[in-house]
Amino acid sequence: MSKTPSEFTENTKEVLARRAGQRCSNPSCGRPTSVAHTDANRAIMLGEAAHIFGKNPGSKRFDPNMTDEQRGSITNGIWLCSTCHKLIDTDEAKYKSAILFSWKSENEKQILESAISKQTVKNPALIPVLDLYHVIGSTGGPKGHFRTFKVISKTDSYAQDCSFWLEGFGYRHDFQVTPGLSLGKDQTVDLKIEMEINETTNPPEKIDDLEFNMSYSGIDGTRFVSKRKINQFAVKTNIFNDFSLGKFIPPAIVQDDNFRIEKFEKLDNLGGGETGLFSIDVGGEKKQVKIKISSTLLATWGFTKDSQVLAALLKIGEVKIRGMIQLDNLNDYTFTTYDFPNDYQSGYEGFKKACYLLER
C-alpha cells in the first residue's frame, strides 16, 4: 500500500530517531528506543514517530488549515517510545502541540550538548565520592590547637591521587599527603592541622566561607572535587572556634581550562581603589592582568584590612579572568558599583553575591 503524503516516510522516521539520540523525547520518560535482542544479530525497536498535529481529520491535534505535506513533514514529527505515543494520543487536552514541540527541541538540544561536551557522559556509579565525616578537635599545640579531619571514601570506585585543602575567605591550608594517595571503599585518611589561636581577639574571628576540599581522580583520570562546608562556633572557654560539619557538596568534574595563576601581588594604592596584578598562564602563554576594585565597592563590602582587600582581589579577580578567557576578551578590569546595578549590596554577603553573579 502506498503512503499518503501525511504519513512519515521511512527516511523521516529514521532521521527523527537519530536526532533524538534514539531516546523517547518525553522528558519524564527518556527511555532508550533501541535495545539489545537475545539474538546477538538483532535489536528491538521501541520507538515510534508520532504526529504532533494529527495526520487525519479526527486524529489528535488535527489542524484543518495544514496541507498533507506539512502533516507528513519532519517538523511535524516527534520521536517517542510506544507508551508515550499512546499517552499523547489519549489525552489531547494535556498534551498540546506546544508541549510536544518543546519536548522535541529540548531533547534534541540535550542530546547534541552531551555529544559535543568535552566531558563524556559519566556512569554515576563509577564516580568516586570522598567525604569529610568527622572533625576532631582539639589538643593543645605550641601555637594553638590541633584538629584532625577524617576523610572517608564512600563508593566502590577508587579515588586516586587525592589532595585536600581547607579554604575560606583569605585563608588556605594545604594538607600534606603521601604522593599518589588512593582510597577505596570505606578507607579513611586522617589529616592533622595546628590552627593558631589569635590571642588578641576573644573569641577569635571566624573565617568566612570555610570549606574542606577533596580533589581526586577516577579510574579514567577525570578529576573531581567534592566539598564539605564547615560550621564554626566558639567553645565555652572562648579561646578558639571549633568546627562541625555543614552541607556536603557532591563531586563535580574539574574543568581544565588551561588557566593558572602563577603570581599575584597587590600594587601600591594608585587612588580610587585597590589593584591586584595577576601573572597568569593561559594554555602556555604568559600574560599579566590588572584587576581593580573601586573604593566605594570595598567600603560597601566592609573590606578595610589589607588581608581582606587581598582576599577580595584574588577571589573576584580569578572569577573575572576566567570569564574573560572564556569570552576571548582578556583585559585589565575595574570593578565599580555599576558592575552590580541591581544586586549591589553591603557587607560580606554582598561580596559573595557579586562573585556568584560573575560565575554564572
Residues that bind Zn ion (CB under 5 A): 24, 26, 29, 81, 84
**Distance in angstroms (rounded) separating the CA atoms of residues 308 and 263:** 18
Between 79 and 340, name the residue whose CB sits nearer to Zn ion: 79
- Which distant-in-sequence residues (6+ apart) come within 8 Å of 131 by Cβ? 151, 152, 154, 214, 226, 228, 248
Q: How far apart are CA 158 and CA 75, in angstroms?
A: 47
The CB-of-30 to Zn ion minimum distance in angstroms stands at: 7
Q: Toward Zn ion, which CB reaches closer, 68 or 106?
A: 106
228 and 247 in contact (C-beta within 8 Å)? Answer: yes
d(CA 142, CA 164): 24
CB of 86 to Zn ion, least distance (A): 9
- Shortest spacing between CB 115 and Zn ion, in angstroms: 20
Closest to Zn ion by CB, 81 vs 129, is 81
CB closer to Zn ion out of 81 and 191: 81
Tell me whether the omega of the peptide bond preceding residue 153 falls within 30 degrees of 0, making it cis.
Answer: no
The kind and range of the H/E element at 113 are helix 97-116
Distance CA 217, CA 159 (A): 6
Report which DSSP code applies to 254.
P
In whole angstroms, the minimum distance from the beta carbon of 16 to Zn ion comes to: 14
Find the shortest distance in angstroms from Cβ 310 to Zn ion: 55
Closest to Zn ion by CB, 107 vs 155, is 107
Smallest distance from Zn ion to CB 95, Å: 12
Bridge partners (DSSP) listed for residue 23: 32
The type of residue at 13 is: K
Nearer to Zn ion, 19 or 266 (CB): 19
Least distance in angstroms from the C-beta of 154 to Zn ion: 33
Residue 29 or 74: the one with the smaller Cβ distance to Zn ion is 29
Are the CB atoms for 18 and 85 separated by under 8 Å?
A: no
Name the percent of the chain in helix, strand, coil, to the closest 5: 25, 35, 40
| Beta carbon nearer to Zn ion, 26 or 153 | 26
Number of H helices and E strands in the chain, helices first, is: 7, 16
CB 164 within 8 A of CB 151: yes
| Nearest approach, Cβ of residue 83 and Zn ion (Å) | 5
